[in-house]
Amino acid sequence: MARAIAGDQAAYGELVARYTALAHRTAYLLGAGANAGDVVQEARRQMPFEIHLPVQLGTPDQANVHEGRFVTLRYGDVRLDQFDGTVHEQPHGVGQTLIWQRGQVTLRLEGDLTEERALEISAS
């Protein structure tokens, strides 16, 4: 976990591989439906970059690809946008929005979250 938080992509991949099945089962049990993992896989096929799934959020309820440019993942009332590109800034928040980067992908988290919770999600 510490390596993934520090930005080690290989460690992040190991976490995703280790916990994806558990996240899918949990999402299904919480009502996401039998195709909970399918929404992510379909989005991944359409995007030219790796879609990040924060461990703290699990499997999204919805994944929408917007003209092949960016993806929106929905976790109830929480929205996570991702696009291939950099903003050259440190993680920062505006209102109830947090923007950060993971490699060449910029992520934007929006929802009724405390700053502490948003930072936990971004680090996972």
- pLDDT, residue 110, reads 92
Query: What is this structure's pTM?
Result: 0.62
Concatenating the DSSP letter of every residue in 71-120 gives EEEEETTEEEEEEE----S--EEETTEEEEEETTEEEEEESS--HHHHHH
- pLDDT, residue 13, reads 62
Over residues 86-99, mean pLDDT: 69
- pLDDT, residue 81, reads 92
Contacts of residue 77, Cβ cutoff 8 Å, sequence gap at least 6: 111, 112
pLDDT in tens, 23-46: 555 555 554 554 455 656 667 677
pLDDT in tens, 48-76: 777 788 888 888 888 888 877 788 889 98
Largest CA distance in the chain: 39
* Position 46, amino acid: Q
